[in-house]
Chains A and B, each alone.
Chain A
Amino acid sequence: MGLPLMMERSSDNNNNNVVELSRVAVSDTHGEDSPYFAGWKAYDENPYDETHNPSGVIQMGLAENQVSFDLLETYLEKKNPEGSMWGSKGAPGFRENALFQDYHGLKTFRQAMASFMEQIRGGKARFDPDRIVLTAGATAANELLTFILADPNDALLVPTPYYPGFDRDLRWRTGVKIVPIHCDSSNHFQITPEALESAYQTARDANIRVRGVLITNPSNPLGATVQKKVLEDLLDFCVRKNIHLVSDEIYSGSVFHASEFTSVAEIVENIDDVSVKERVHIVYSLSKDLGLPGFRVGTIYSYNDHVVRTARRMSSFTLVSSQTQHMLASMLSDVEFTEKYIRINRERLRTRYETIVEGLKKAGIECLKGNAGLFCWMNLGFLLEKKTKEGELQLWDVILKELKLNISPGSSCHCSEFGWFRVCFANMSENTLEIALKRIHEFMDRRRRF
């Protein structure tokens, strides 16, 4: 699936089959022509399988959470057949559910989401179900917020390295730009006030109007939470510049130790000043914490009434299936279940993380100190012949072709330092992870012998 060649404007006498599409349709801002999609292709053509294809490509570029499915399956099987079936006989709740297309969303489901988000934050922040706007995934939520907070040619400041999908989600159809806030390893890639000012100035120098800062907390690809002090500085910055602060907290439930996560909701909880609160917006989703990306459940939580109202109306373009809302409403409002799920999920992810970090350490490879997420941020800078993007992509290609591991190069995340790679660990079995680590060990051994 490539991009078509740029289409020329055809005159009325044109007889060939070329027809004009919009500028948006022919642009490449969807980002799918980037080199690292080749990794996907290699995996699709030769996917690892424990039994049938043990020497295939292991997919470590996919931030999926597969470690806790058993908990969901057991719950749905035993406790919640009605959630799937609309009642026991003759599906009595079916028609009402099938007809329900209210963009306010199912009240029981919003209440369940609010309660779930509170639990993840250990009750340190309250969530009002009426401020929850549902969207078909966080992809939709981020785009929608961008439409609401910024005009075409305005900019959002985003700290690097960041999730490659933002290039499409925040920019493609909205016409909004991303101006990077450069972070580096000298301080574990944390956002500094200097970096913030510098990014803001860069935008101003180019005559671009900055409308907000968008962070991911915990960070993708770093796999680390944003420190409380940094959040407070960020909010101060946004107040001073009179811009918005969007916090994408889709990995909040995957923090290994709950106490280490500070949500921007906590910061705002103790603020009464509306002019401060009303610039803060949170994005959440069930794709990572619950491992349900296929069900398309995302949400925008805003402290700004106008944003909530507008987002709700705009969500018409991206509503969550009422069938899915209905099923998840009962599961997520079962507080006993969700507490157990959140706890066990954190433990399992932590164990996985420790396994991979230990394994890499034994091979002589260091990772950024992480405490969350479905991936680790691995430093292979010392293996690069040249610390350039090309050097990094060369190494990436070797890892893909020789080790048959598909991992994500830092350059695809706009990292300003070369040699870093994001490696996912939660989308495979423990055995597969061991195999991947074994391949890395052998690779490093071979290198040492030379």
Chain B
Amino acid sequence: MVLLSRKATCNSHGQDSSYFLGWEEYEKNPYDVIKNPQGIIQMGLAENQLCFDLLESWLEQNQDAACFKQDGQSIFRELALFQDYHGLSSFKNALADFMSENRGNRVSFDSNNLVLTAGATSANETLMFCLADPGDAFLIPTPYYPGFDRDLKWRTGVEIVPIQCSSTNGFQITKLALEEAYEQAKKLDLNVKGILITNPSNPLGTTTTRTELNILFDFISKHKNIHLVSDEIYSGTVFNSSEFVSVMEILKNNKLENTDVFNRVHIVYSLSKDLGLPGFRVGAIYSNDKDVISAATKMSSFGLVSSQTQYLLSSLLSDKKFTKNYLRENQNRLKNRQRKLVSGLEAIGIKCLDESNAGLFCWVDMRHLLGSKTFDAEMDLWKKIVYQVKLNISPGSSCHCVEPGWFRVCFANMSEETLKLALKRLKKFVDDETSKRSCQKSESQRLKGSRKKKITNISNWVFRLSFQDREADER
């Protein structure tokens, strides 16, 4: 038998985790309002489906952009031949402007500092290749997007050391947690090359506070070989733009332009969440360091954005009337949808993380529904929610959360009716569980001493290899 590489045979692609297994169950029995009303509702998919009507109407009025025409003339040839890794400048300019708009024009982006990549998945990996050697480490606050285990580590050989955050302060990064992570890396003999945050956070659905950003900037000011990567792909999903503080703003407000810190802060962006276009594979790296831009640009050869797509989107994003309206509508619709989920959950006695003000999901506290304060119990609860309640949500353990009982629940990838149904199902489950508990309590008081403790065997179930691959590009 002919052998494959270690990368091909290891498990770092992460696809045996529970996160992807929930996917599999959904695919076997997907909810459809007409064809399969009893099916599983997908709430584990951070997609933004709330503003497609705006995009569709724009397309209707601007057909040239999708048909390779410019001012009525065909530019098919030029686009078909265009494979310059510097990217279409009209697109980069429009993207840079869009990124500024997303930040209330409090900062501006230079398109020369932008590198286009096939999605943020590619951007994150490329940055790792540029900033770290195999065996180096990046510090990442937990809970974090499960895909990072693959994106940042698989082919790069980089390690992730978690910065443990807890519910005691809303999972915010503390100076202590950061330093502990740094020490932990040292103990493991790992060279720390950077910190990577997601702002707004996935899965928390909150913007990173100024306090946290200051802690991070203080740290990298002190440790001069450490980079700060800010994955800001959800920047357009902040319900009130004024609440979003980008690392670019800190650089500007703290007048760090002429310091070495300026070159060590990098941003990742994408149109997959804000515009709801994950299929088009449009990601970007933004950096003030010319060498990073130079290396990343060359690396982008391995994942360029289709020129057809660059052209369409340069047209879309250059339409300032459209982008202004879109950003505002998008924020409003997401805010309203999130409120429906939050209040619906509250009515069932389930709380979401306080101060959640962004994202396509809520970080939901179901600790009170756990049989015990363990991850086994979290798995038990998750299985029930997937199989009985028929909702695919993401368990906190898949996001490396240190506290069991938290779940990420998406709300922007379905209709309002479907959300209502999901809440209805959950209410029934919680009501049933509650009455079961009060029965059990009196039962247990009667049968004290002869109760057998149920132990769930996680390993077989969670770690069995998917026999049908499921696509994993989910945030």
Q: Which residues of A contact B (CB under 8 A)?
A: 1, 3-4, 7, 10, 12, 14-26, 30, 32, 64, 66, 69, 72-73, 76-77, 81, 84-86, 89-91, 94-95, 97-104, 136-137, 139-140, 143, 147-152, 154, 168-169, 172-173, 211, 242-244, 275, 278-279, 287, 291-296, 304, 306-307, 309-310, 312-314, 316-324, 327
Q: How far is the CA of A76 from the CA of B262 in the complex (A)?
A: 47
In the complex where A21-B292, A69-B77, A76-B68 touch, is A324 in contact with B52 (Cβ < 8 A)?
Answer: no
- Closest-CB distance, B369 to chain A (whole angstroms): 31
- Closest-CB distance, B109 to chain A (whole angstroms): 20
CB-based contact A296/B305 at 8 Å: yes
CB-based contact A317/B302 at 8 Å: yes
B39 in the interface, Cβ–Cβ < 8 Å? no
Contact of A324 among B130, B133, B308 (CB under 8 A): B308
- Closest-CB distance, A23 to chain B (whole angstroms): 5
CB-based contact A23/B133 at 8 Å: yes
Q: Can you pick out 16 interface pairs between chain A and chain B where the beta carbons lie within 8 Å of each other?
A: A7-B291, A19-B225, A21-B130, A22-B136, A24-B130, A85-B63, A102-B471, A102-B473, A103-B473, A137-B83, A211-B5, A294-B80, A294-B307, A310-B4, A313-B15, A320-B281
Q: B339-355 toward A: CB 8 Å interface, digit per residue (1/0)?
A: 00000000000000000
CB-based contact A10/B225 at 8 Å: yes
A294's closest neighbor in chain B, by CB? B307
Contact of B302 among A306, A307, A318, A322 (CB under 8 A): A318
In the complex where A98-B55, A294-B307, A307-B4 touch, is A85 in contact with B67 (Cβ < 8 A)?
Answer: yes
CB-based contact B2/A242 at 8 Å: yes
Most chain A CB atoms below 10 A, which of B59, B81, B129, B472: B81
Residues 299-313 of B contacting A (Cβ, < 8 Å): 299, 301-309, 312
B125 in the interface, Cβ–Cβ < 8 Å? yes
Most chain B CB atoms below 10 A, which of A81, A169, A172, A317: A317
CB-based contact A147/B155 at 8 Å: yes
CB-based contact B81/A293 at 8 Å: yes
The stretch that binds A, out of B6-14, B93-101, B160-168, B357-365, is B6-14
Chain A residues near B55 (CB-CB < 8 A): 94, 98
Q: How far is the CA of A142 from the CA of B154 in the complex (A)?
A: 18
Q: How far is the CA of A321 from the CA of B155 in the complex (A)?
A: 22
Chain B residues near A319 (CB-CB < 8 A): 118-119, 281, 473
B189 in the interface, Cβ–Cβ < 8 Å? no
CB-based contact B469/A309 at 8 Å: yes
B260 in the interface, Cβ–Cβ < 8 Å? yes
B240 in the interface, Cβ–Cβ < 8 Å? no
Q: How far is the CA of A327 from the CA of B262 in the complex (A)?
A: 42
Question: Which 5 pairs show the lowest CB-CB distances between chains A and B?
Answer: A322-B279, A294-B307, A321-B306, A25-B295, A102-B471
In the complex where A17-B260, A66-B77, A104-B469 touch, is A317 in contact with B118 (Cβ < 8 A)?
Answer: yes
A85's closest neighbor in chain B, by CB? B66
Q: B45-80 toward A: CB 8 Å interface, digit per residue (1/0)?
A: 001010010011101100100111000001011011
Given A19-B289, A85-B66, A306-B9, list of 9 further CB < 8 A pairs?
A12-B225, A21-B295, A81-B67, A85-B59, A101-B471, A136-B304, A275-B2, A306-B8, A316-B151
B67's closest neighbor in chain A, by CB? A84
CB-based contact A76/B302 at 8 Å: no
CB-based contact B294/A1 at 8 Å: yes
B447 in the interface, Cβ–Cβ < 8 Å? no
Chain A residues near B4 (CB-CB < 8 A): 148-149, 306-307, 310
Q: Which residues of B contact A (CB under 8 A)?
A: 1-9, 13, 15, 47, 49, 52, 55-57, 59-60, 63, 66-68, 74, 76-77, 79-83, 118-119, 121-122, 125, 129-134, 136, 150-151, 154-155, 193, 222-225, 227, 260, 262-264, 272, 276-281, 289-292, 294-295, 298-299, 301-309, 312, 469, 471-473
Most chain B CB atoms below 10 A, which of A72, A103, A173, A320: A173
CB-based contact A316/B80 at 8 Å: no
- Closest-CB distance, B362 to chain A (whole angstroms): 21
CB-based contact A73/B279 at 8 Å: no
CB-based contact B312/A323 at 8 Å: yes
Contact of B60 among A90, A312, A317 (CB under 8 A): A90
Chain B residues near A101 (CB-CB < 8 A): 119, 272, 278-279, 281, 471, 473
Most chain B CB atoms below 10 A, which of A16, A19, A86, A140: A19
Q: How far is the CA of A95 from the CA of B47 in the complex (A)?
A: 11
CB-based contact B264/A19 at 8 Å: yes
CB-based contact A97/B279 at 8 Å: yes
CB-based contact B308/A323 at 8 Å: yes
Chain A residues near B303 (CB-CB < 8 A): 136, 140, 317-318
Q: How far is the CA of A107 from the CA of B222 in the complex (A)?
A: 52
- Closest-CB distance, B61 to chain A (whole angstroms): 11
In the complex where A4-B294, A148-B8, A173-B155 touch, is A98 in contact with B308 (Cβ < 8 A)?
Answer: no
A27's closest neighbor in chain B, by CB? B295
Q: How far is the CA of A52 from the CA of B264 in the complex (A)?
A: 45
Chain B residues near A137 (CB-CB < 8 A): 83, 301, 304
Chain B residues near A279 (CB-CB < 8 A): 2
CB-based contact B8/A316 at 8 Å: no
B473's closest neighbor in chain A, by CB? A101
A279's closest neighbor in chain B, by CB? B2
Chain A residues near B132 (CB-CB < 8 A): 22
CB-based contact B56/A323 at 8 Å: no
A239's closest neighbor in chain B, by CB? B2
Q: How far is the CA of A86 from the CA of B66 in the complex (A)?
A: 9
CB-based contact A98/B2 at 8 Å: no
Q: How far is the CA of A15 from the CA of B258 in the complex (A)?
A: 11
Chain A residues near B472 (CB-CB < 8 A): 103, 313, 316
Q: How far is the CA of A419 from the CA of B264 in the complex (A)?
A: 46
- Closest-CB distance, A338 to chain B (whole angstroms): 17
CB-based contact A94/B306 at 8 Å: no
Chain A residues near B278 (CB-CB < 8 A): 98-99, 101
Contact of B276 among A14, A73, A99 (CB under 8 A): A99
Q: How far is the CA of A295 from the CA of B2 in the complex (A)?
A: 34
- Closest-CB distance, B83 to chain A (whole angstroms): 4
Q: How far is the CA of A275 from the CA of B1 in the complex (A)?
A: 6
Q: How far is the CA of A104 from the CA of B27 in the complex (A)?
A: 14
Chain A residues near B52 (CB-CB < 8 A): 94-95, 98
- Closest-CB distance, B345 to chain A (whole angstroms): 26
Q: How far is the CA of A20 from the CA of B49 in the complex (A)?
A: 41
- Closest-CB distance, A165 to chain B (whole angstroms): 9
Contact of A30 among B59, B80, B298 (CB under 8 A): B298
A291's closest neighbor in chain B, by CB? B80
B57's closest neighbor in chain A, by CB? A90
A243's closest neighbor in chain B, by CB? B2
Chain B residues near A169 (CB-CB < 8 A): 301-302
Chain B residues near A296 (CB-CB < 8 A): 83, 118, 304-307
Chain B residues near A295 (CB-CB < 8 A): 80, 306-308
Q: How far is the CA of A307 from the CA of B305 in the complex (A)?
A: 25
- Closest-CB distance, B22 to chain A (whole angstroms): 16
CB-based contact A25/B312 at 8 Å: no
Chain A residues near B136 (CB-CB < 8 A): 22
